[in-house]
Structure 1
Amino acid sequence: MIFRRLTDQLNAVVTQNMTEAGLNGKDPHVTARRHIILYGYSNSLLFNLTSGAFLTGFWLALGADADWISMVIMLASVANMLQLFAPFLLQRVRDTKQTVLHLRLIQHTLNLVAAAIIPLLGLAEPLMLRLVLVMVFIAYILGALAGPGLQIWHLKSIPPERRLGFFSFLHATNVIITFSAMFLGGLFTDGLTAAVSSRFAFILLRLLLLAVAVFDLWNLRKIDNPGVPGEIVNRRRQGLLDLPRHILSHPVYLLTILAASLWAMASSMPGQYFVVYLVSDLGYSYSLITGVSLLNLVVIIFLTPLWKRVIARLAWMRSFAFSTFLYAAGLIAMAFVGMGRFGLPLYVLSSFYTYIMALGINLSFANLTYVNMPDENQTSFVSLFNASFHGAILLGIWLGNRFMRHPLTGDGGPVWLGLVNAQLLLLTAAAAILISGFLIWQIGRVEKPIIDH
């Protein structure tokens, strides 16, 4: 009965959002939006099946240690910050679409083919690890350089009146597809690890993802590129010193970048420290934590229409601010999860609550990059937004690490009000999130409500 209700609700959400996203018809922009949706699926699969637990498993299978894996994750963030230089490449070519396609092709070749074949060459382990790292890091850089061009290119086919329905549909369906693929990917690697070896399992997974990469490139080729090169290749080539002049002439967008970066820094500070606290200090199992996270699927299926109405009423920026206020309240409640009879119920309820608010954050953030973006030099502005955002994530990870290792908080015992360092870190992150939400709310006061067709 519950499964049938979930299925019916999902079908209703998909049907309604397909109409509102403008995915019905034969117009070239409609066709482009369909391929952008499919590209979103393939891009998400490629990212999630080569990052997180799959990235950790891949490098462990090659013989790397935890410090090496931490370095790989840090290099991924550094590569994303190099998006700042994307405009100086894309503004110097006549066919942005072909340039982006070539960057993606080389990225997939290095990340999937080269990284999978090098471990099979019989090289000494230190040399093999370094070569794979070089291939993967170059792939990260190429993906970062292609990113801003992809965003502006695709945005041309998603007019403002379609974005709420489009982003809602993409998010709802993409999460379900990604969750399913990650579950199947876990079964695949676990099965092959038991039958053969972990190295064979993770190498084969990367090679099988080549099919997804081909699908990714095929969809990109099918997407029209209206306005290019005329709107992206400027009459005068932009230099590195032009970027400060552009951003300072648009202070509202600069404030948007700063507020979004503050959110990114704050939300990345807790990292995995609170999960470690749940497992090590409270004795929660990973299966329990994973099971609670599945509530996220229920939230997306049932509450996406509700958040769409909220965003339509408050508009993008105020919806983001509103959801961050409520999300911070959930983090504050979660910070007080501890031993005792009420610890587990509080963890489940606060997790469920934060998933609800995180849905509002994710849906409203999808368009936050573009709300106050000027019409000219858009590739430069998107590059700056993305580079600042990823730089803030790296800063948040570093601050979280420093907090956990500080002499006043690093001994693992109670620090204040009986709370340990991981709990206090969550409270600190919640305070910073509240500040970022307040800034976004102030910036978005003049934004008009959305009329979504």
Structure 2
Amino acid sequence: MEFFRTLKKVFSPREEHSRGRLCILASGILTSIAAQFTGGVFYTGFLLLYGIDVVSIGILTFIPSLACLLNIFSPSILERFRKRKWLLAFVRILTNTINILGITFLPSLVHEKRARVIGFIIIVALANSISALFGSGYSAWHAKFLTEDVRSAYFMFNGCINSLTVYLFALIGSVATDRLTGSPSQLTMMTTLRIISYVLTLLDTVLLCIPKEYEYETSGEKVKLADVFTKPVKNKAFFCSMVILFLYGFTTNLPNATLNAYLINNVHISYTFMNAINATYFLFFIAFGRMWNKFIAENKWFRALAIACVLQGATYLVYAFVNEANSSWLYLSVRLSQHVLGVVMNTIIASVPYINLPDEDRTNYLSFQLIVSNLASFSGMMVGTLFTSIMGERALNFFGFPLSAAPLLLVACWFMHYVTAFVIMRLLPIVTPKYHYPAPAKK
């Protein structure tokens, strides 16, 4: 009963703020489904079918993070508009059209491999550069709906419902794709999934236009380009929160650019097996959500994150030793362990930008947060891709186990989780807010 009472409080369509959160949730589900079919293993598989090599895939993967550095110009553009809803909707449709349809149909027009890679790079860079110029618009708009008293519950429910819906669709797509492996129809299936994803992004844009657009609070000062950096840096609590966010983002993205290609090509894990495991994620929200919510309440946001980093780091060390011989049980064990910890990790990380966020000039602060997050992703994936390129097919002996580039990056990820936990504990007095939600559970 408590579960349904909280669900009604957070997402009731009758109350304005709750209705806004419901639209954001529904939009997030559609966006995530589209992202599943146009990104991750499907994106990697689509590119591999067109003969794109692992290093080129790595480059294409981190270009969006590099392009998002253009967020620096976002406040200068957005602060000129008192109402931004329709501008943001137009930009969202434009970038999805360029990115999804452009990548889908480019190979039909360009047949030379090198030219295809260049074309993919141009499309990805253009779409993400345009998106970055308006990137903080939705965050500043929707921050009003994510108040402190419901934020933890919102992200818990969002993670649970989102993962259930998204990975169910991904699993269906994976089964269909795996059954067509090796036949020309596999490419047709992936192309169809990308077109379906584009339609979903159009519906997503419609949903995002429904929540009320409140007036944006400002300090009244003239908008300056430097404000994107100066205001967040001067706010010690917010800036230190961003340092933590950068470290975490860099750490988790170290293996991301090349890991899926390694699992598909070297470990020979099927799309179905990967997404079947991912599809169980929502069960872990149901089983462990209340426990982790209590854990966050008792330890407060950042201390809870530090403890979770230590636990999560260990899973990456084990992950490094997954190979074709043991993948049926070790890969499964590692991923399910990461699901348990992912409930608390994802809830906290999603909340970090809002924990020490001031009420005024939020566009500047959230633009800075987007720059930090994407710089972290870019840095992590760039380092991972460069390391993979340098290593080539070579392997290093690690306690008697030969580890190639991708597993070694997982070892580095393990170490960096502990570095991140150490930094969090050092910054704890600064980043821990005076208020705290959710309230600690009664003994």
After TM superposition, list the pairs within 5 Å mapping 1:35-434 onto structure 2: 35-62=23-50, 64-117=52-105, 122=109, 125=112, 130-131=118-119, 133-189=121-177, 197-228=185-216, 231=217, 235-271=220-256, 285-286=269-270, 296-335=281-320, 348-403=332-387, 411-415=394-398, 420=403, 425-434=409-418
Once the two structures are TM-superposed, the CA of residue 188 in structure 1 deviates from its matched residue by: 4.7
Q: What SS class does the counterpart of residue 370 from structure 1 fall into?
A: helix
Once the two structures are TM-superposed, the CA of residue 147 in structure 1 deviates from its matched residue by: 2.9
What TM-score does the superposition give when structure 1 sets the normalisation length?
A: 0.82
CA contact (8 A) 1:82 1:144 kept: yes
- Cα separation, partners in 2 of 1:318 and 1:141, compared to 1, 3 Å: same
Match of 1:19 among 8, 11, 17: 8
Once the two structures are TM-superposed, the CA of residue 19 in structure 1 deviates from its matched residue by: 2.8
Amino acid at match of 1:327: Q
- Cα separation, partners in 2 of 1:185 and 1:280, compared to 1, 3 Å: closer
In the alignment, the residues of structure 2 paired with residue 268 and residue 28 of structure 1 have an alpha-carbon distance, to the nearest angstrom, of 37
- Cα separation, partners in 2 of 1:174 and 1:14, compared to 1, 3 Å: farther
Q: What SS class does the counterpart of residue 311 from structure 1 fall into?
A: helix
Q: What SS class does the counterpart of residue 26 from structure 1 fall into?
A: coil
Once the two structures are TM-superposed, the CA of residue 63 in structure 1 deviates from its matched residue by: 5.5
CA shift digits 1:81-100 (9 cap, x unpaired)? 32232212211223222221
Once the two structures are TM-superposed, the CA of residue 336 in structure 1 deviates from its matched residue by: 6.2
In the alignment, the residues of structure 2 paired with residue 244 and residue 112 of structure 1 have an alpha-carbon distance, to the nearest angstrom, of 32
In the alignment, the residues of structure 1 paired with residue 140 and residue 201 of structure 2 have an alpha-carbon distance, to the nearest angstrom, of 21
In the alignment, the residues of structure 1 paired with residue 328 and residue 104 of structure 2 have an alpha-carbon distance, to the nearest angstrom, of 42
- Cα separation, partners in 2 of 1:401 and 1:373, compared to 1, 3 Å: same
CA shift digits 1:145-164 (9 cap, x unpaired)? 33311112111122110111
* Of 345-354 and 53-62, the range deviating more from structure 2: 345-354
Amino acid at match of 1:319: A
Q: Which runs of 5+ in 1 are unaligned?
A: 1-11
CA contact (8 A) 1:20 1:165 kept: no
In the alignment, the residues of structure 2 paired with residue 314 and residue 452 of structure 1 have an alpha-carbon distance, to the nearest angstrom, of 11
Percent identity of equivalent pairs: 21
Q: What SS class does the counterpart of residue 38 from structure 2 fall into?
A: coil
CA shift digits 1:309-342 (9 cap, x unpaired)? 212222322222221122123334555668999x
Once the two structures are TM-superposed, the CA of residue 289 in structure 1 deviates from its matched residue by: 6.0
Amino acid at match of 2:193: L
- Cα separation, partners in 2 of 1:43 and 1:388, compared to 1, 3 Å: same
Once the two structures are TM-superposed, the CA of residue 439 in structure 1 deviates from its matched residue by: 2.6
- Cα separation, partners in 2 of 1:307 and 1:111, compared to 1, 3 Å: same
Q: What SS class does the counterpart of residue 209 from structure 2 fall into?
A: helix
CA contact (8 A) 2:167 2:278 kept: no
CA contact (8 A) 1:17 1:166 kept: no
Once the two structures are TM-superposed, the CA of residue 34 in structure 1 deviates from its matched residue by: 1.3
CA contact (8 A) 1:46 1:212 kept: yes
In the alignment, the residues of structure 2 paired with residue 47 and residue 403 of structure 1 have an alpha-carbon distance, to the nearest angstrom, of 26
Once the two structures are TM-superposed, the CA of residue 64 in structure 1 deviates from its matched residue by: 4.2
In the alignment, the residues of structure 1 paired with residue 127 and residue 20 of structure 2 have an alpha-carbon distance, to the nearest angstrom, of 26
- Cα separation, partners in 2 of 1:50 and 1:92, compared to 1, 3 Å: same
CA contact (8 A) 1:153 1:225 kept: yes
Q: What SS class does the counterpart of residue 224 from structure 2 fall into?
A: coil
Amino acid at match of 2:170: M
Once the two structures are TM-superposed, the CA of residue 39 in structure 1 deviates from its matched residue by: 1.0
* Of 33-42 and 428-437, the range deviating more from structure 2: 428-437
- Cα separation, partners in 2 of 1:247 and 1:394, compared to 1, 3 Å: same
In the alignment, the residues of structure 1 paired with residue 45 and residue 325 of structure 2 have an alpha-carbon distance, to the nearest angstrom, of 35
In the alignment, the residues of structure 2 paired with residue 253 and residue 348 of structure 1 have an alpha-carbon distance, to the nearest angstrom, of 37
- Cα separation, partners in 2 of 1:155 and 1:61, compared to 1, 3 Å: same
- Cα separation, partners in 2 of 1:340 and 1:60, compared to 1, 3 Å: closer
Q: What SS class does the counterpart of residue 379 from structure 1 fall into?
A: helix
In the alignment, the residues of structure 2 paired with residue 319 and residue 307 of structure 1 have an alpha-carbon distance, to the nearest angstrom, of 9
Amino acid at match of 1:243: V
Amino acid at match of 1:385: Q
Once the two structures are TM-superposed, the CA of residue 428 in structure 1 deviates from its matched residue by: 3.1
* Of 104-113 and 436-445, the range deviating more from structure 2: 436-445
In the alignment, the residues of structure 2 paired with residue 202 and residue 348 of structure 1 have an alpha-carbon distance, to the nearest angstrom, of 25
Instruction: Give the number of equivalent residue pairs.
Output: 434
- Cα separation, partners in 2 of 1:149 and 1:276, compared to 1, 3 Å: closer
Once the two structures are TM-superposed, the CA of residue 26 in structure 1 deviates from its matched residue by: 1.6
CA contact (8 A) 1:335 1:423 kept: yes
Amino acid at match of 1:179: Y
CA contact (8 A) 2:395 2:403 kept: yes
